[in-house]
C-alpha cells in the first residue's frame, strides 16, 4: 500500500528502540524523512549509524530531548522548524511504566514521575508541534496508549491512569484540530517485546527463580489469560498500525483508539 507520505517529515519520540524504531523503518520505506528523539544523543547516533548502514538511507536523523522538561521540548521544536521546516507527523512512543506495586505504598513522587513522562510528555509535545502542522494544514498525531487504559492491572495504578488519560487527551485534540486536517489517534498495544517489558520479565524471572522464557510463559498464563495467541507481540506488529494512521490513507480516521493486543483486553467494548 502506498501510504502517500513521500517527503513528509515525521518525529518519533522514544525512537531509539522498540515500537518507535520499527515505525521509523516503515515510514522511511514509504519515503518520509524521520527524526528520532530520545534522552541520549549518543544512543541515537549509534542507532542511526547502524540503521543507515543496513537500509542505505540518509532520511534518518536524531535529536535528543527530555519530554519531562518543557524547555527541552521547545528547543527540539525550534531545531526541527529551523532544519526541516516543521513536522507533518508526530508519533509519541516515549513512555515509562514508572512506579508499580501496592497502591497504598505509592507516594506522590511515584505518581508524578509517571505522570511527567506518560501524560505531561504528550501534552508538551502536542503544544510544541501542533503549530507546525497548522502551518501546513496537514498533520497526523499518533499517541501510544496501552491495554492498561481499558483493562487496568492492580499493581500499575499510575501507568493505568496515565494511559487512560492519553486516550482522552487525544480524543480532545482530535475534536479541536480535526477541522484543520490534523488527525489524532491512539494505539494501545499489549505485552510487546520492548525494553520496558524485557525489564519486567527480568524482574519477574529473578523474583520467581526461573528463566526469562519461563517468566514470560507464567505471565501469559496468569496475568494475560485473554491474550489468545499466547505469545508476546513484536514491535513491528504495532508499527504497522501506527504507520497506517500516519498516512494520507487514514484521511477519515480521527479520535480513534486501535488496540493491538491479540485479545488481551477481555471486553469487546473496552
Annotated domain spans of the chain: 9-190+234-260, 193-232
**Half-sphere exposure (Cβ direction) of 211: Cα atoms closer than 13 Å:** 3
3-state SS assignment for residue 135: coil
The whole-model pTM stands at 0.95
Q: What is the mean pLDDT of residues 240-252?
A: 98
Residues 6+ apart with CB under 8 A from 215: 201, 202, 204, 205, 208
Contact 238, 93 (CB under 8 A): no
pLDDT the model gives residue 30: 96
Measured distance CA(67)–CA(74) in Å, rounded:
10
pLDDT the model gives residue 266: 86
Model confidence at 1: pLDDT above 80: no
Q: What is the mean pLDDT of residues 138-150?
A: 97
pLDDT the model gives residue 268: 81
81, burial (CB in 10 Å: exposed 0-12, middle 13-18, buried 19+): middle
Which residues have a catalytic role annotated?
Answer: 159
Measured distance CA(41)–CA(161) in Å, rounded:
30
Question: In this predicted structure, which of 105-119, 164-178, 195-209 has the lowest mean pLDDT?
Answer: 195-209
Q: What is the mean pLDDT of residues 117-127?
A: 98
pLDDT tens profile 43-94: 999 999 999 988 889 999 999 999 999 999 999 999 999 999 999 999 999 9
How does 172-201 read in b/e, with b if 16+ C-beta sit within 10 Å?
ebbeebeeeebbbbbbbbbbbbbebbeebb
3-state SS assignment for residue 3: coil
Q: What is the mean pLDDT of residues 211-236?
A: 92
9-190+234-260: what CATH class? alpha beta
Q: What is the mean pLDDT of residues 18-29?
A: 96
pLDDT the model gives residue 196: 86
Residue for grid cell 508524578: 112
Cβ of 61: how many Cβ atoms within 10 Å? 17
Measured distance CA(193)–CA(216) in Å, rounded:
10
For residue 37, how far is the Cα from the chain centroid? 12
Q: What is the mean pLDDT of residues 203-212?
A: 92
Measured distance CA(7)–CA(236) in Å, rounded:
22
Measured in degrees and rounded to the nearest 5, phi and psi for residue 260 equal: -115, 80
Amino acid at each position: 500500500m502506498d501510504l502517500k507520505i513521500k517527503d513528509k517529515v515525521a518525529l518519533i519520540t522514544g525512537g531509539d528502540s522498540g515500537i518507535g524504531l520499527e515505525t521509523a523503518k516503515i515510514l522511511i520505506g514509504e519515503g518520509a524523512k524521520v527524526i528520532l528523539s530520545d534522552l541520549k544523543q549518543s544512543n541515537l547516533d549509534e542507532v542511526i549509524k547502524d540503521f543507515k548502514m543496513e537500509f542505505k538511507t540518509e532520511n534518518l536523523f536524531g535529536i535528543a530531548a527530555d519530554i519531562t522538561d518543557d524547555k527541552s521540548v521547545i528547543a527540539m521544536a525550534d531545531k526541527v522548524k529551523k532544519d526541516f521546516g516543521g513536522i507533518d507527523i508526530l508519533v509519541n512512543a516515549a513512555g515509562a511504566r514508572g512506579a508499580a506495586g501496592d497502591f497504598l505504598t505509592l507516594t506522590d513522587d511515584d505518581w508524578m514521575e509517571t505522570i511527567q513522562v506518560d501524560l505531561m510528555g504528550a501534552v508538551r509535545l502536542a503544544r510544541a508541534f501542533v503549530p507546525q502542522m497548522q502551518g501546513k494544514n496537514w498533520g497526523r498525531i499518533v499517541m501510544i496508549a496501552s491495554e492498561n487504559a481499558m483493562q487496568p492491572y492492580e499493581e500499575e495504578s499510575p501507568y493505568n491512569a496515565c494511559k487512560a488519560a492519553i486516550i482522552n487527551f487525544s480524543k480532545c485534540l482530535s475534536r479541536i484540530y480535526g477541522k484543520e486536517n490534523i488527525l489524532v489517534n491512539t494505539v494501545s498495544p499489549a505485552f510487546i517485546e520492548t525494553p520496558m517489558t524485557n525489564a519486567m520479565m527480568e524482574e519477574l524471572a529473578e523474583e520467581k527463580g526461573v528463566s526469562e522464557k519461563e517468566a514470560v510463559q507464567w505471565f501469559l498464563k496468569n496475568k494475560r489469560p485473554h491474550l489468545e495467541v499466547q505469545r508476546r507481540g513484536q514491535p513491528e506488529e504495532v508499527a504497522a498500525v501506527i504507520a497506517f494512521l500516519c498516512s494520507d490513507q487514514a484521511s477519515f480516521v480521527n479520535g480513534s483508539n486501535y488496540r493491538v493486543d491479540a485479545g488481551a483486553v477481555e471486553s469487546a467494548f473496552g
